[in-house]
Amino acid sequence: MRVVAFNSSHRKKSDTAALVDRLLEGAASLGAQTEHVRLADYRIGFCTNCLTCYRYQGAGIAPCSIKDDMRALLEKIRDADGVVLASPLHGGFLNGTMTTFFERATFTLGRPTGTIMGLRGCPEPRLTEKARACASVVNAGIVPPELRQACDLATPWLRDCAPVLFNGELAGELYAASMQYHGLTDEECSRAFLLKELTDEQMEQAFDLGTKMAKTIEAGPRPYSPPGC
């Protein structure tokens, strides 16, 4: 049982990294082999829309015209039983690194032969040799959980896209925002992001998500099924 987490934060000691480490500890507590991948350590170029991957109709990971580290990252997904996607929230969405990673993965891991809500030509999984458990971790700034709906566009997007690209089942998600915001003074609010600290509860939520992933893998995650099927 192997769980790989892709963390798009550029800061090595970020809150996102701490949450990922704790999640992987949870998975490891049930016997999973784990790997924490920092996307900032890899060369990931922007998609040029050359459509090399889109044209490929064969099995497995589709070829890409860009020669960088992306292929090695996709192979980590192929070999994993569980995949975690972790990103800080930037402007209410995934940061640029995770967005680029997903853009490059769309048709290298997805074949344009699927049908979603009657629309043909949509991505469907290329990696169909096994189903994978998926999870998302979004680390927010000052927006408290009760206002999450107004700023977190990242989690719904990951919820929809991860299962189709990884041929899997969403085991769970974590939104970690500032719990100190309500107690800040007016002066402190102008630098609230710098004052944010993860709570013990959030760290335990990350651990629990890791154990949930491992249990989902042990039980056998469901392969991707298009909406309405």
Q: Which domains does the chain have, with CATH numbers?
A: 2-219 (3.40.50.360)
Asked which of 34-48, 89-103, 130-144, 207-221 is least confident by mean pLDDT, the reply is 130-144
The Cα–Cα gap between 5 and 20 comes to 7
Cα radius of gyration (the chain): 18
> Above 80 in pLDDT, residue 89?
yes
Mean pLDDT over 19-26 rounds to: 98
CB distance 213 to 171 below 8 Å: yes
| For residue 181, pLDDT beyond 60 | no
Position 3 pLDDT exceeds 60: yes
Average pLDDT over residues 179-195: 60
Burial class (CB in 10 A: 0-12, 13-18, 19+), 54: middle
Average pLDDT value for residue range 166-191: 76
Question: Residue 177: which pLDDT band, with cuts at 50, 70 and 90?
Answer: confident
The pLDDT score that the predictor gives to residue 197 is 78
Query: At which residue do the structure tokens 């690209």 appear?
Result: 165
Q: How many CB atoms lie within 10 A of CB 192?
A: 15
Per-residue pLDDT band for 209 (boundaries 50, 70, 90) equals very high
Mean pLDDT score of the chain, rounded to an integer? 91
Residue 151 is predicted with a pLDDT of 79
Predicted confidence band of residue 118 (pLDDT cuts 50, 70, 90):
confident
Give the pLDDT of residue 97: 98
164 contact partners, CB below 8 Å, separation of at least 6: 110, 114, 123, 124, 125, 224, 226
Q: For residue 92, what pLDDT is reported?
A: 85
Strand partners, 114: 122
Q: How confident is the model at residue 141 (pLDDT cuts 50, 70, 90)?
A: confident
- With a threshold of 0.75, does the pTM exceed it? yes
Question: Which tokens belong to 52?
Answer: 């090399």
